Amino acid sequence: MSLREAVSRAVETHPSVNAARAGRRASGYELRIAQGALYPTVSLSADAGQQYVDRPNSLDPEDNQLWRPRRQASVTVRQVLFSGHQRANEIYRAAAALDASALRVLSRAEVLALDAVEAYIDYRRHAMLLSLARANVDRHTEIRSLVNELVGGGKAPESDSNQAAERVAAANAVLAQVQKAFLDARAKFKQVIGIHPGATSPVPFPSNLPGSARLAVEIGVGSNPAIEAARTRAEATRYELERAKGAHYPSVALEGTATYGEDVNGIEGRNLDVTGKVVINWDLFDGHIRKNRERALNERVMQHQLEADSQSREIAEAIERAYAGFATGGDRVDSLRDQVQANNRTVSAYREEYQLGKRSLLDLLDGENSRFNSEFQYQSASAIYYFSAYQLLAHMGRLLTTLGVSAPAEALTGHVEQSKQSLFHIDIEPLRQ
């Protein structure tokens, strides 16, 4: 499994992304609800039963004070003509909320992609560290065999044998710790990506990285989906405020009703009543409810704008930290690589000198310890360096694009503009057909 395949699987199957996708689909239906207010409503009511009527002034005595069967059906059609632009602003609000939900899907996918990259690199790192720990045990076991031969030949004291055995035991203890860490990394891989790791591929170093922290921050603040989602949420609240302002205007509706009945109100026979009218409703005073609702929404707009600004600062800090780790990580890896090579040469020389009696066993064992530590640090530093590059891309909102992994279909935005065009029909045809 390659890194790209692991990230793609995680984005497609992880419950956190699918939960965000479900939220986005729910927001889509809420937009349809808002759009439905543009259409007329048609309602039907019907009843049938017994009716008792006492109307001595309008009914003959033989027809009055009787229970009579009755039936009636009524159809009402109502079309709102004007509502202070509340319907349009509700559509814009729902469309902005839909865009915010879509951006949250993209943000969740970017975060999970970084989690998958971390789990993948960390699993490979721990597999390499486990190999180093096993090789360390093998080398110390080999040294113990060499020491035992020298002790048996009278060329080394008995204390060297005890010291070599102690180092073998210590190497085995380290191996057990690394095995535990490896199993933890394997479990993390399963949790994030959804399957246990099999054969993995080398991790490629990402390209198209920014040349400076300033450029990285500019790109990230402008394209990070978490920041865009926060800004779009503030935009949705502004439309909600505009909708609330519309409540100060009267609502105007065209209403038509047709009612058909038989034996209604004690009168035998059929009757048909058809009305058409313009209905105006205007709340002149409501205890300052509308005014206070506007004030509350003004504060909500301010709250969401400030939250977006706070998110921008946090992302900018995260980008600068990631860039610092990326910029300095390469030098650290190079230094540790040189240290590993130097320790390999030192251990080879110490082994020959120990066999010739020019070095003590302690020198050889300490050399092996230094070599193992430098190899261990080199592998960890290399993994951290690679991850820092991917982390930088994730904070910039470009991890999925760099890996060639498609974002979920629910991450598509632009619904506010689509809603405005659908209301006002402003599609402009090209000059050249």
Domain of 147 in residue numbering reads as 3-39+85-247+288-424
Give the model's pLDDT for residue 415: 62
Is residue 51 assigned to a domain?
no
Comparing C-alpha atoms, which of 124, 44, 117 is closest to residue 77? Answer: 44
Lowest-confidence segment of 106-120, 186-200, 258-272 by average pLDDT: 258-272
**What CATH number is associated with residue 176?**
1.20.1600.10
Task: Supply the pLDDT for residue 430.
Answer: 58
Alpha helix ranges (H) inside 210-281: 213-223, 225-245
In a domain, 147, yes or no: yes
Q: Specify the pLDDT at position 416.
A: 63
Residue 207 lies in a domain: yes
Residue indicated by tokens 């990070």:
224
User: Which tens digits make up the pLDDT trace of 329-388?
Assistant: 989 999 999 999 999 899 889 888 878 878 788 888 888 889 899 999 999 999 999 999
Indicate if the alpha-carbon torsion angle 245, 248, 250, 251 is positive or negative: positive
Within a domain: 269: no
Q: Is the pLDDT of residue 414 over 70?
A: no
Q: In total, how many domains does the chain have? A: 1
pLDDT digits (tens, 9 = 90+) for 148-171: 888 787 777 888 888 888 889 999
Is 96 a domain residue? Answer: yes
On whether residue 252 sits in a domain, the answer given is no
Based on the number of CB atoms within 10 Å of its own CB, is 268 exposed (0-12), middle (13-18) or buried (19 or more)? exposed
418 assigned to some structural domain: yes
Biggest alpha carbon distance in the chain? 140
Residues 415, 192: Cα–Cα separation, whole Å: 31
User: What DSSP element (H or E) covers 96?
Assistant: helix 86-152
CA atoms of 84 and 247, how far apart (whole Å): 6
Q: What number is the average pLDDT over the span 109-124?
A: 95
pTM of the model as a whole: 0.84
Asked if residue 147 lies in contact with residue 160, where contact means CB atoms within 8 angstroms, the answer is: yes
Q: Given this model, what pLDDT does residue 4 score?
A: 93
Q: Is residue 371 part of a domain?
A: yes
